Amino acid sequence: MKLIALEEAFAVPELLARQPVTRTSTGKDWLDLWNRRLVDFTRERLPLMDEHGIDMQVLSLTVPGVQGLTDPAEAVAEARHANDFLGHVIARHPDRFQGFAAVPLQDPEAAAAELDRAVDELGFSGALVNDHTNGHYYDEPRYDVFWAKVEELNVPLYLHPGAPPTDSWNVLAGRPELVGPLWSWGAETAGHALRLVLGGVFDRHPRARLILGHMGEGLPFQLARLDSRYACQSERPLLRAPSAYFGDNVHITVSGVWSHAALTGAIAAIGADAVMFAVDYPYESTADAVEFLRSAPISAEDREKIAHLNAERLLGIK
């Protein structure tokens, strides 16, 4: 079974040292392991891929990426540097790595230009952003120029958690374990994705495609509720019910959710054509990810779609 993994992080050493600290309660031993693996491509990463049958990783700049920067000019420069760095890595291993671009959405026009460069000159397959950019969400009209470029290039945008928080969420007070990947990141990113849907981004840009990790940040299991409550709104400006955008404009990966119940539920909710494989390396176990998909109680046809066929189609991977 061919495997393409879509949510696989890397770091540029000199950029990692300058990035804002992402606040979580993760243990130091785990952080040390992840930081070592983030900057490695051949000593541990490729051997682990070989051991477990991962044919290709689609690499993206780890959290918070350039979303943690407040100065637009700095964000533009660091995104370009990170993308050039990744381009060199891919050039050395073109059959094993592909890339999602870092895009400086502090300046939407510059982000569109950098995506254009990354796709056309570096051969990347799309972009990945770590949630909001300094409290701005991408349903705002100022980002239409960026969505238009996503449509023009026919590449997806992967919306990933991990931007530095810009406000306080009282429900997290006194419960540091809730902060980060255990819960708050997924909830925040799901909210951002719903802003995109309810804000009409996919009505204005019907050919744009969004990818959500972690089994769609739980949203496939809320579609009936979203539709029923949307039907009760005093104003309903969308062209379709909220659920209709999932499986069409919104695709998901399984990253970090090794639950067969969740996988079969997601397939039932949005269709196997909209579900893709990912590990979330180095934060999750490659062995667990591969065994999860190999043993999933799904058809052989759906397994192949999730393992590689959907990624090849959506990302243009040959």
Please check the confidence at residue 151 and state whether its pLDDT lies above 70.
Answer: yes
> What's the CA gap between 177 and 180, in Å, rounded?
8
Q: Measure CA of the first residue to CA of the last residue in the chain; give whole Å.
A: 16
Name the DSSP letter for residue 171.
G
The arithmetic mean of pLDDT across residues 143-151, rounded, is 98
Q: What tokens appear for 60 in the block?
A: 């993206």
Range of the domain at 8: 4-315
The arithmetic mean of pLDDT across residues 125-148, rounded, is 97
169-212 tens-digit pLDDT: 999 999 999 999 999 999 999 999 999 999 999 999 999 999 99
8-31 tens-digit pLDDT: 999 998 877 666 555 566 667 767
Give me the number of domains the chain comprises.
Answer: 1
pLDDT at 23: 59
Instruction: Specify whether the CB–CB gap between 277 and 308 falls below 8 A.
Output: yes
Confidence of residue 32 (pLDDT cuts 50, 70, 90): confident
Please check the confidence at residue 158 and state whether its pLDDT lies above 90.
Answer: yes
Q: Taking all residues of the chain, what is their mean pLDDT, rounded to a whole number?
A: 95
Query: Among residues 22, 259, 286, which one has the least CA distance to residue 161?
Result: 22
Q: Does 139 qualify as catalytic in the annotation?
A: no
Q: Which one of the listed residues 107, 131, 139, 280 is annotated catalytic?
A: 280
The count of residues in the chain is 318
Instruction: Specify whether the CB–CB gap between 79 and 103 falls below 8 A.
Output: yes
- Which range is least confidently modeled, 14-28, 87-101, 110-124, 265-279? 14-28
Q: How many helices (H) and strands (E) would you count in the chain?
A: 14, 8
> What's the CA gap between 220 and 251, in Å, rounded?
10
pLDDT at 21: 56
Name the DSSP letter for residue 136.
B
> What phi and psi values does residue 137 have, to the nearest 5 degrees?
-110, 150
> What's the CA gap between 163 and 65, in Å, rounded?
8
The arithmetic mean of pLDDT across residues 303-314, rounded, is 98
b/e per residue, 260-286, with b = 16+ CB within 10 A?
A: eebbeebbebbbbbbbbbbbbbbbbbb
Q: In what order do the strands lie in the sheet with 97-99?
A: 4-10, 56-61, 97-99
pLDDT at 166: 84
CATH number at residue 50: 3.20.20.140
> What's the CA gap between 186 and 95, in Å, rounded?
31
Confidence of residue 61 (pLDDT cuts 50, 70, 90): very high
pLDDT at 220: 98
- pTM, two decimals, is 0.96
- Which range is least confidently modeled, 62-71, 218-227, 268-277, 295-304? 62-71
Instruction: Specify whether the CB–CB gap between 272 and 303 falls below 8 A.
Output: no
Please check the confidence at residue 285 and state whether its pLDDT lies above 90.
Answer: yes
pLDDT at 167: 85
pLDDT at 122: 98
Instruction: Specify whether the CB–CB gap between 130 and 192 falls below 8 A.
Output: no
